[in-house]
Structure 1
Amino acid sequence: MNVLIIEDEIKTAKSLAQIITSIRPDARIVSTIQSVERAVSYLTANQQPDLIFMDIQLSDGLCFQIFEQVKIIPPVIFCTAYDNYAIEAFKTNGIDYLLKPFKREHIEAALEKLSNLRSYFSPEKQLTPDLETLLRKLGEPDGKKSFLVFKQNKYITIKTDTIAFFYIHNEMTSIMTFDHHEYTIPQPLEEVQNMVSATQFYRLNRQYLINFEAVKEVEHYFSRKLFIKLTVPTPEKLLIGKEKVSSFLGWLENR
């Protein structure tokens, strides 16, 4: 397995290379690169590796500039000291997001994740009943397209893709649109969750069901929780407990 390391801290890059090769003796570090400019040059002139370990903030800019200039094919494991770029990372080729100072077990878990993904999607793998069910669902309608609401003696149709989030307010389910209009609907939140696309909407907790397009930032919080900021203000601070972190990040990743 050929591995490229893009990391501007030389000591960190050396440590990372040692950990990778100790976990996977078959891994070969093809190069260690410190800047966006050099990364673009290398990836343009050479065969792309099997895996890239990439820091976010490099000596001459953010690593996302590389993706703007080169079509990167292999999966990327981000290793960074910054916790506010997770959404952008998973919108690229990111399969994991490790915060510095990382430990050997973090790298080991990320490499195991890569192996599992490659094994699952290998051409030799036969379709299982669960996968066949998933493929059938992909051909089905992608959730409810609109909701009928009643406000000021009028019935109004609200398109689902204009809804930033659903939430429980005064024991009723409310809709908040991207243009900051609020409506009440009769359906319980659990029922709404089953109506809309699971790809587009995520149930953060018992009170909130949010639209992917409304997610602005995701930050690490105390006790291994995540703090979710939306483009539309919410009445309460949105937190995800550690038990749902993997599920939520997986939802962000699997677009």
Structure 2
Amino acid sequence: MNVLIIEDEPLAARQLRSMVLQCDPAITIVAVLDSVETSVNWLSGHPHPDLLLADVELVDGQSFDIFNQVPVRCPVIFTTAYDEYALKAFQVHSVDYLLKPINEAALRRSLDKFQEMRRLFGTGIPALDVQQLMTMLRPAPAPQPTDYRERFLLRQGARLIPVEVADMAYFFTRDRLTFVQTWEGRTLMIDYHLDDLGQKLNPQHFFRANRQFILSARSISDVHLHFNGRLKLELTPPVEEEVFISRDRAADFRAWLGE
């Protein structure tokens, strides 16, 4: 059996390759690829393997981007860090999934499942419906209020100050308190958690970058590609902490910025 591995983390790729061969030494690993681009090029110029082991999140996109660019004529086992709710989609639309970090027992069960499907269906294992899988994985949009806050009443010592949202650069948490940074350089405490603010701010103008920051588009002065698919941001006004967008959130963030 020929197996193609698509995994962008070198250590994870080596471990997965080793575990596959431990499960079945007769398997031939035809290639180990690390990106959407290299996978599309390889699949376009080589006979397709019997089975594909594909990480969902890759350094230059998602493995779904591969399937949208080149027909994949072999079954797929996904490796993924998606939560349990989203995993139901993988159960329906792929041979199986492996939840990271992968262990040998789980890999062996997936390979056994694939072999059983081959015995039952031969080469007629149902093809992967990528579009339907992506639709199922995409979270339903949260109900949005018909209007968003235009101002907040903020504390500064014993004073309460009305501040327009248009004057706010970003919101952040520090020492379990929530603050807003204004364009004028003032740092003021606000009596809301970031989760609450996310429902009160217009999502066209503000983005929840991570657990610590909600950013306005105007506050982002520069975006740097960082290790393992993350993005590192520079903000205006400057901030003490380093601000990162995770690999899982990077695509949404880039779309929000207008890519």
- Which TM-score applies when normalising by structure 2? 0.46
Computing the radius of gyration over CA atoms, which structure comes out larger, 1 or 2?
Answer: 2
